[in-house]
């Protein structure tokens, strides 16, 4: 049996503090997203945890790609249209997210960096407010998932003009990739989630937990549910996964430095 104990608040730091004071034998695990492991370490000068010393990432749960969403009435039909307009009018275009330094913000900032454009980031208190602003044309665009931007897309208020993945998603075969939509080649923006254990958990225990997670993710009903949410399973060896985390950390470190972002 697995008991899920939600501890919301403070950027996840409350949950992390509870985890650090829990069992260290593999009976207490924590779900972390990419912000905790590869973004916050570069945004905060001081964190209440050490992403390397406190956690052993066991296995990824999912990777979620974002859609580039614009108003249903927007003049932008492609990412190329956005880039061209941004180059013609530096600083005039805007995009939004719910905070500084989240994957949606940094994904759009990455688009700025790769296209050498200048756009304005607008922060909203809630995701519902964010995507309503896209729908009514207050924002030129925003990145969003099927869970966050999907309801307004299904209601015909938002159009998805691209997906931030290397290939098209099976649930949205008509939505091109950013590169196919006139954006930069090699562009990719994701949010991802992992299960982590306390640092130093014996290898045999880690491998057992990893096998159990991979078996669960291979279940047909889970696979079907993931497609519905727009999630991708990315099974990999532990060595490959740690390499992926390292590469993600380096990418976000460079973005955060380029845009001079900080949360303390």
For the domain that residue 218 is a member of, what is the CATH number? 3.40.190.150
228, part of any domain? yes
Of 145, 163, 181, which closes a domain? 163
Nearest partner of 193 among 153, 151, 229, judged by Cα: 229
101, part of any domain? yes
Distance CA 78, CA 106 (A): 20
Nearest partner of 104 among 52, 33, 172, 170, judged by Cα: 33
264 residues of the chain, pLDDT tens digit each:
889 999 988 989 999 999 999 989 989 999 999 999 999 999 999 999 999 999 999 999 999 999 999 999 999 999 999 999 999 999 999 999 999 999 999 999 999 999 999 999 999 999 999 999 999 999 999 999 998 999 999 999 999 999 999 999 888 999 999 999 999 999 999 999 999 999 999 999 999 999 999 999 999 999 998 888 888 888 788 899 999 999 999 999 999 999 999 998
Distance CA 112, CA 94 (A): 11
129, part of any domain? yes
Number of domains in the chain: 2
220, part of any domain? yes
Residues 78 and 139 in one domain: yes
Domain that holds residue 134: 67-163
Residues 71 and 51 in one domain: no
Nearest partner of 194 among 207, 208, 213, judged by Cα: 213
């Amino acid at each position: 049996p697995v008991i899920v104990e939600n501890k919301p608040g403070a950027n996840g730091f409350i949950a992390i503090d509870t985890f650090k004071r829990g069992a260290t034998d593999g009976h207490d695990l924590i779900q972390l997203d990419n912000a905790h492991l590869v973004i916050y370490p570069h945004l905060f000068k001081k964190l209440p945890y050490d992403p390397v010393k406190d956690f052993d990432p066991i296995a990824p749960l999912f990777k979620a790609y974002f859609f580039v969403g614009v108003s249903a009435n927007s003049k932008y039909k492609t990412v190329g249209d956005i880039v061209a307009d941004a180059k013609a009018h530096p600083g005039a275009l805007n995009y939004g997210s719910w905070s500084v330094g989240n994957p949606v913000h940094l994904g759009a900032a990455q688009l700025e960096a790769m296209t050498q454009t200048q756009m304005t980031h607008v922060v909203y208190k809630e995701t519902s407010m964010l995507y309503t602003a896209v729908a009514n044309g207050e924002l030129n665009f925003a990145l969003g998932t099927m869970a966050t931007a999907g309801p307004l897309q299904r209601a015909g208020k938002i159009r998805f003009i691209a997906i931030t993945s290397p290939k098209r998603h099976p649930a949205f075969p008509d939505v091109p990739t950013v590169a196919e939509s006139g954006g930069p080649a090699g562009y990719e923006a994701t949010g991802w989630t992992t299960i982590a254990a306390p640092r130093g958990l014996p290898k045999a225990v880690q491998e057992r937990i990893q096998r159990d997670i991979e078996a669960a993710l291979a279940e047909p009903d889970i696979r079907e549910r993931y497609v519905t949410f727009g999630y991708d399973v990315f099974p990999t060896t532990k060595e490959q996964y740690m390499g992926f985390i390292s590469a993600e950390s380096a990418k976000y470190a460079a973005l955060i430095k380029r845009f001079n972002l900080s949360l303390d």
